[in-house]
Amino acid sequence: MSTKKLEVIKVVTNKLDLDIKQLQSPRRHCCDVLPSSTGDMMEVAIRECKDDELIYMH
């Protein structure tokens, strides 16, 4: 997706059911960039990370 025409970034999530360990620092969540039918909007879905999912930190 080209970011030059991007006008809207929509971020969505379901209510996350976090346990006490997940509420402690540092917190990590994963996301998916959803397909868009228009070139001016990007939709990002925040979700809990899966068990074997890698997380990249800068």
pLDDT of 28: 74
Burial of residue 35 (number of CB atoms within 10 Å: 0-12, 13-18, 19+): exposed
pLDDT band of residue 8 (cuts 50, 70, 90) is: very high
pLDDT for the residue numbered 53: 80
Give the pLDDT of residue 4.
76
pTM: 0.66
What ranges in 1-58 are assigned the alpha helix state H?
20-23
Order of strands, sheet of 41-47, starting from the edge strand that comes earlier in the sequence: 8-13, 41-47, 30-34
Range from 2-6, 43-47, 53-57 that averages highest in pLDDT: 43-47
pLDDT of residue 50: 81
